Structure 1
Amino acid sequence: MKVFTRIENVRQYPPVFIALGTFDGIHIGHQAIITRTVEQAKSKNCSSAVFTFSNHPLNVLDADRCPPLIVTNQEKVNLIADLGVDMLFNVPFNTELLQLSPEKFLEKLVNNINLRHVIVGANFTYGYRGAGTPALLTSFGSRHGFTVDVVSMVDVEGVIVSSTTIRQLVADGAVKQAADLLGRPATITGKIIEGDQRGRNLGFPTANLAIQQGLLVPADGVYAVYVNDETGRKFNGVANIGNNPTFTRQTRRIEVHILDFDRIIYGQQLKVQFLDRIRGEIAFTCVEQLKQQMKADIEFARKYYFV
């Protein structure tokens, strides 16, 4: 997949079928739009493309209201590439784009890209103050030689799939339900940092992950997880998110106990996939209670998730 970080002239490529959207979670609704783009482009011997932003527009519009990221920008790029897209316009949203009227934004696209067909979601808006609508896009396309396909919102058992709903589910710890809407487990990738060795002293060594600022993190508690190391190998694990109230620690962190694993891996990147929440965070009255509960959590995870 060819990645562009600005709107560049790509008329040397075959005519383009392009998906437009923020695509801030690459959930199953976004996947439906992008997959349709790829399939239709292939059927017409055209190039497939996605136009999106490398940062959330609210970072520029109103940073205080900007929601936490479901995926990092690099994860977003990787997920789009996995869908078989030929070209990605992963453009930083800035004040210049903010001030473009819907017509000027579309003119910028047609002046640089040989558009044949555009695919958007039913709730797609664009241009200054989001004034652009799919109807306006269709009208513009009829004048400039491209057609438009508007994809209906996807629902799962009556729940409309949206990034807002997914964020709320993950924030509530309902990662299993969130996975149904994402089409994959909620995931956090982070570098292992050196902790206070308390888990190892308790008999349950943990890899401590630094939480990237602005990234969506599940609610405090204990989770059954899959863990991938830098080589891509997958392990079973149990992760704790929280402040470790038994020891009155104040810094929120993710601590992962990888089952049947005993290697020093400080400094490596781990990808943690959250399967389900086992329990909420508990402040124990003594260390022995904590040890017994950790043992029970691991046994529960082995029995119900890692058969």
Structure 2
Amino acid sequence: MAKAFASSTDMEEKTETLNVIADGVYALTAEGDPNIGAIEGEDFIVAIEARATPKAASDWLEKLREHTDKPVRYLVLTHYHAVRVLGASAFDASEIIAHEKTAFLLNERGQEDWDSEFGRMPRLFREPEGIPGLTHPTLTFNDEMTIDLGGDRGHLELKFCGRGHTAGDIAVWYPKHKVLFAGDLVEAEAALYTGDAFHMDWASGTLDRIKAFEAEALIGGRGAVVEGRVAVDAAIEQTREFLLGMQAHVKAAFDNGGTLKDAFEATHKALAPKFGHWPIFEHCLPFNVQRLWDEYDGLDWPRIWTMERDREVWALLQD
């Protein structure tokens, strides 16, 4: 029997939890749906991620306003994916900050990604008619950027740690409280989406740099807030284990003259016992294996996902 495409039939709303991690540090988690956060400056807010639509973003801001009424000065986008960026207009931010490669990717494939993600995860797009258009950063950087929070609140460090989930992921580090917003470079018991990834870079140097922050609290792209050094390191290593597991089985099929379908089936069989119960595992794996296969085939820059290509890969691997 054919499996329903991606998360197209997942229409049950998840329970949202607003976590106060430290003084003025907030994260909204939702049972494996994309996480979002905010950090208070002396007289402004730094918002982290924008959700999929202005309506979804406004719902988050309504919860945040129970704790602070400071205006959003900076909206930080950790990467370019539609479910992270298309709600930007709701924040009325003075600056939208992202990595240079994120700005490039939004120009190169932003519309295709919007169409693709809407087809894959329609539930996340609350009132999609309210999206005014593609989101484009107003301020970009390459290696790192610092935001002074004012008063005695310290500063934030926005850092590019290497290619990973995409070509332009950034982490948001708050040294004063040792809190790290890692975006989709780390997931907390939620499956990785790697359809636009650089698997070998991610599993090695990029995660090593994330671990080097020695965070006491970590907010990944999906899943619960992780607190305590031991738990943070465990989440990072679990992310690495997922990546290395995919690499081992896809490479074996590729090197032995197997097919993409062989690679998918071997990877699914190996990873499902440990990771198969994680949110969006079945959704992500076909796209992950296709991208990793492309890397072993010599394609460094990820191919653009379109609605048509999504369905073709799904039909080949999951049906």
TM-score range, shorter chain: under 0.3
- Tell me which structure has the larger Cα radius of gyration: 1
TM-score, normalisation: structure 1: 0.26
TM-score, normalisation: structure 2: 0.25
Q: Which has the higher strand share?
A: 1
